[in-house]
């Protein structure tokens, strides 16, 4: 590579504004506009892409927050790709812009930078290495990270900013702050250190995964702000473990490696279920989380025909609690349709992020049959002669393509806009995704062997073996980045849930649509079994047939997707067939509920009905 410094600026500005409201209350406003599409910036051998289509960080908190809360906010994402045949060093700088008399001081701004190989590196902005500003209008700059990228390698980073919890009114009120990221590629850049650590949580045991050049580590646990790591860790096979206390849901473990000043912290809110008030209300009626978790795992080869209550499992966000069998205390009233009728739902589960997943059940708690659907003659996709058409969204010749909406997605999006968008969107969670697992496993339906493909190649997908053959459902999505459908700006998933994903910008409508379908795995957890009738569990709709979101296979000529049959069994059928549509939504974790979940007294969101 040429020894000349290469500079790449990500032009999406990061804008923070603080306004005093009353007393010591603060308010965030994100300004600077948004982009219609993600941009790509190229210089020399490095290529920088905005992963998110937004030009500003989406900060939803209205006051200074703790570090535990800060690392749970929405991130600003960017990807660095080395397109050359040689490696290079680089630095990631944050440059402060447009200094005015009331600019917020860097002493009161917290920063977190993470990637797939390193958890949240948290610091005060002013504690980072001072760099020379290079962007027009920048008055100061700080180097957040230096690293090396190999030939043809790519790395994605996640940046989060928030106001320091300890900032006072005098320090932070009536202040403004704006900045831009500046990625500088230079083979002569000195890499300070390449020490990395990521964390995973199993029950109360947090396990670190360290880079192989780590020889010593110290750690500490916190439920608020960064703590000083002083407890020596015992490293074995490039990892160490920490046993968390009983309140692990909001704990964070911070570590220092090889005695350096870098503090790397896990985010307990991402790896364990942050059960909010609504979640606690529901779990209390089932005996509490510990009692539910103690029940173990049911036999998924058998249908659930009695009231089995709730069980616990793991999803992509933490611990999920799901209803199984002939339950009758999971009724939920939420929203009204365009005719003013109340809408009734059944709770499928509490997601790992504490949000509540609902499936539509009509305009009363006595609704049966076709009336539990918003449409009874809906094709999943009108086209069928290609692998792509198993997708809730798809792209020809791409296993996990996302450029085109399926027919059923368009129907759901329109229903959401007509019935929920204007009055009820504030109560919905777009971060909890809907998994349309398109992991290709085999060409013949046997044991997975990573074969299959695109076009007209015969291909069986992940759920077909799990549910048809092996009877082992999962709440985890095999390809989170592509097949977990979430709204833009979500902490996980593809961020693809908008009205119109057409590449034609003249017709692009980016209205978020946090709505989807139940998965075949969720049907199995609820008590359905492939090929076995069940007219007793709560997902049976009295002879009505409806689609799930889960692909089954492409048999060489036609695409097939899982459905719930008229007998209540799971099976598969051709995508152009006219079957029912039962919307699925997620209610935010922090809402307040009334009711008991019975048919006569369903749960309701306070303020929404």
At 502 the pLDDT is 59
CATH number at residue 88: 2.60.40
Percentage of the chain modeled with pLDDT above 70:
84
Is the pLDDT at 501 greater than 70? The verdict is no
Residue 321 inside a domain? The answer is yes
Tell whether 155 and 13 lie within a shared domain. Answer: yes
Is the pLDDT at 489 greater than 80? The verdict is no
Distance CA 350, CA 562 (A): 23
Distance CA 196, CA 346 (A): 44
Kindly report the number of other CB atoms within 10 A of residue 312's CB atom.
21
Residue 191 inside a domain? The answer is no
Detail the DSSP E strand segments found in 266-379: 307-314, 319-325, 331-336, 342-350, 356-360, 375-378
Residue 180 inside a domain? The answer is yes
Residue 485 inside a domain? The answer is yes
Tell whether 539 and 553 lie within a shared domain. Answer: yes
Residue 608 inside a domain? The answer is no
Number of structural domains found in the chain: 3
Q: Which is higher by pLDDT, 112 or 104? A: 112
Domain range holding 255? 197-271
Tell whether 260 and 336 lie within a shared domain. Answer: no
Confidence of residue 38 (pLDDT cuts 50, 70, 90): very low
Tell whether 238 and 285 lie within a shared domain. Answer: no
At 430 the pLDDT is 87
Tell whether 239 and 281 lie within a shared domain. Answer: no
Structure tokens at 577: 């067939």
Is the pLDDT at 351 greater than 80? The verdict is yes
Q: How large is the average pLDDT for residues 172-182?
A: 77
Residue 379 inside a domain? The answer is yes
Tell whether 176 and 249 lie within a shared domain. Answer: no
Among 46-60, 90-104, 424-438, 518-532, the least confident range: 46-60
Distance CA 374, CA 583 (A): 8
Contact 43, 85 (CB under 8 A): no
Tell whether 437 and 574 lie within a shared domain. Answer: yes
Q: Which is higher by pLDDT, 576 or 2? A: 576
Contact 551, 392 (CB under 8 A): no
Residue 336 inside a domain? The answer is yes
User: Which of 158, 185, 212 is where one domain is finished?
Assistant: 185
CA-based nearest residue to 168, from 104, 122, 95 = 104
Tell whether 258 and 357 lie within a shared domain. Answer: no
User: Which of 185, 211, 245 is where one domain is finished?
Assistant: 185
Is the pLDDT at 503 greater than 60? The verdict is no
Distance CA 426, CA 433 (A): 17
Contacts of 294 (CB under 8 A, 6+ apart): none
Tell whether 432 and 527 lie within a shared domain. Answer: yes
Tell whether 364 and 246 lie within a shared domain. Answer: no
Tell whether 530 and 457 lie within a shared domain. Answer: yes
For 555-598, write each residue's pLDDT tens digit: 999 999 999 999 999 999 999 999 999 999 999 887 889 999 99
Mean pLDDT for all residues in the chain: 83
Tell whether 152 and 259 lie within a shared domain. Answer: no
DSSP-derived secondary structure for 432-445: S-EE----EEESSS
User: Which of 271, 304, 330 is where one domain is finished?
Assistant: 271
CA-based nearest residue to 29, from 180, 181, 177 = 177
Residue 607 inside a domain? The answer is no
């Amino acid at each position: 590579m040429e020894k000349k410094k290469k500079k790449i600026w990500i032009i999406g500005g990061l804008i923070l504004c603080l306004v005093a409201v009353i007393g010591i209350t603060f308010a965030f406003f994100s300004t600077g506009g948004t982009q219609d599409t993600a941009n790509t910036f190229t210089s020399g051998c490095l290529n920088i892409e905005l992963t998110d289509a937004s030009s500003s960080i989406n900060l939803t908190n209205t006051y200074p927050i703790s570090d535990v809360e800060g690392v749970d906010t929405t991130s600003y994402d960017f990807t660095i790709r080395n397109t050359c045949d040689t490696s290079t060093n680089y630095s990631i700088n944050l440059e402060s812009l447009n200094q005015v008399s009331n600019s917020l001081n860097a002493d009161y701004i917290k920063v977190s930078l993470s990637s797939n190989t390193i958890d949240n590196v948290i610091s005060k902005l002013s504690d980072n290495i001072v760099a020379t500003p290079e962007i027009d209008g920048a008055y100061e700059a700080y180097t957040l990270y230096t690293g090396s990228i190999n030939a043809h390698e790519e790395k994605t980073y996640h940046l989060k900013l928030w106001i320091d919890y300890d900032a006072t009114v005098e320090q932070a009120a009536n202040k403004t702050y704006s900045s831009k990221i500046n990625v500088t590629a230079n083979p002569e850049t000195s890499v300070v250190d390449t020490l990395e650590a990521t964390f995973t949580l199993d029950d109360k045991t947090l396990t670190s995964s360290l880079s192989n050049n780590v020889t010593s580590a110290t750690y500490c646990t916190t439920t608020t702000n960064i703590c000083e790591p002083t407890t020596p860790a015992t490293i074995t096979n490039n990892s160490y473990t920490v046993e968390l206390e009983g309140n692990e849901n909001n704990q964070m473990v911070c570590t220092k490696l090889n005695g350096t000043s870098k503090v790397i912290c896990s985010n307990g809110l991402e790896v364990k279920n942050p059960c909010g008030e609504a979640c606690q209300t529901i779990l209390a009626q089932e005996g509490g989380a510990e009692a539910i978790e103690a029940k173990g795992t049911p036999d998924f080869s058998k249908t659930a025909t009695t009231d089995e209550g709730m069980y616990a499992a793991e999803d992509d966000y933490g611990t999920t609690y799901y209803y199984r069998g002939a339950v009758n205390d999971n009724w939920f009233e939420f929203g009204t349709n365009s005719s003013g009728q109340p809408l009734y739902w059944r709770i499928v589960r509490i997601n790992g992020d504490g949000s509540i997943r609902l499936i539509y059940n009509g305009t009363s708690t006595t609704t049966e049959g076709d009336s539990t659907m918003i449409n009874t003659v809906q094709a999943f996709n009108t086209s069928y002669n290609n692998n792509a058409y198993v997708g809730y969204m798809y792209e020809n010749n791409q296993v996990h393509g996302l450029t085109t909406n399926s027919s059923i997605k368009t129907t759901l999006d329109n229903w959401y806009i007509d019935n929920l968008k204007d009055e009820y969107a504030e109560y919905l969670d777009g971060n909890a995704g809907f998994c349309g697992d398109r992991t290709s496993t085999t060409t013949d339906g046997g044991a997975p062997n990573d074969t299959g493909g695109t076009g007209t190649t015969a291909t069986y997908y992940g759920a077909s073996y799990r549910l048809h053959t092996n009877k082992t459902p999962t709440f985890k999505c095999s390809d989170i980045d592509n097949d977990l459908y979430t709204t833009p700006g979500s902490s996980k998933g593809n961020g693809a849930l908008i009205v119109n994903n057409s590449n034609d910008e003249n017709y692009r409508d980016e209205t978020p649509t946090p709505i989807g379908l139940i998965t075949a795995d969720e049907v199995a957890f609820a008590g359905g079994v492939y090929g076995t009738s069940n007219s007793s569990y709560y997902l049976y709709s009295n002879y009505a047939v409806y689609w799930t979101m889960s692909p089954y296979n492409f048999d060489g000529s036609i695409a097939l997707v899982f459905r719930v049959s008229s007998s209540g069994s799971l099976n598969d059928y051709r995508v152009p067939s006219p079957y029912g549509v039962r919307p699925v939504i997620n209610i935010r974790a922090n809402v307040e509920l009334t009711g008991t979940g019975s048919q006569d007294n369903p749960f309701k969101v306070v303020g929404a009905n």
